[in-house]
Amino acid sequence: SLRMRVLQEKKLRILRKTRISEGDLAYAGGKLSVIIRRDGEIESEVRYRDGRLTIHYPRLQRAEVVDVGAGAGVPGGGGGSFLPIFAGDPKEMKKDHEIRLVRRAGEPRADGPAWMLDVLVLTPRDPKSPVKRIEMAFENFEMKEYVQVDSSGDETRMSITSAEQNVAVPDERFTGELPEGTVVVPLDGSPRRKQ
């Protein structure tokens, strides 16, 4: 199991300036939950469980649902690109991604010089993938940063501010009903309102 606190920076083409939020991630037993907050309010909730990825935007009353399957991607590079580490067997990533490992300097520290990071760069093999590139930066095998660059030009950067391994994560963290009135948008179908 794993818990992380993150600082998220989003550069969206439709926004003039970078959107900065904070949040936390929990992972246990093949289930993932990411909650992002801005100004104390939940901006988005991502849940992955039993082959289904749900991205809920409470303020927009909208949820996007992707059936990822048991480690398989969906057409157009969906699940395999969005969750290359958490969905399925990481050893299978080569099927869906070109993988490179590069080294780069991290940010300078107050108590000394910049440190070196090992950066895992994943490029989806599917040319129709909505994700152009994913980068995961590690220092001494601990993840420090996650960057996702979309084909649209949008970019999301998550800096890990703290992490704990082998912690108890209650199962309720990975469950939850969508509120009444939420418009559910499946990847391969038209919007439908939750009743």
Average pLDDT over residues 39-47: 93
User: In which band, very low, low, confident or very high, does the pLDDT at 70 lie, cut at 50, 70 and 90?
Assistant: very low
Average pLDDT over residues 39-46: 93
Of the candidate ranges 3-17, 108-122, 125-139, the one whose mean pLDDT is the lowest? 108-122
Buried b / exposed e along 76-92 (16+ C-beta atoms within 10 A): bbbbbbbbbebbbeeee
Average pLDDT over residues 30-36: 92
What CA–CA distance (Å, rounded) separates 142 from 120? 12
- CB 4: neighbour CB atoms within 10 A? 19
What is residue 92's predicted lDDT score, i.e. its pLDDT? 72
Instruction: Examine the pLDDT at 86 and tell me if it is beyond 70.
Output: no
Average pLDDT over residues 6-27: 92
Counting residues of the chain whose pLDDT is more than 90, the rounded percentage is 48
What is residue 140's predicted lDDT score, i.e. its pLDDT? 82
Tell whether the torsion through CA atoms of 72, 78, 83 and 85 is positive or negative.
positive
What is residue 60's predicted lDDT score, i.e. its pLDDT? 94
What is residue 181's predicted lDDT score, i.e. its pLDDT? 92
Please count the helices (runs of H) and the strands (runs of E) in the chain: 2, 13
Instruction: Examine the pLDDT at 44 and tell me if it is beyond 90.
Output: yes
Average pLDDT over residues 98-108: 84
Q: Using one digit for the tens of pLDDT, what is the confidence trace for 144-187? A: 899 999 988 999 999 999 999 999 999 999 988 899 999 999 86
Residue 39 CA: distances (Å) to CA of 22, 36, 195: 9, 10, 30
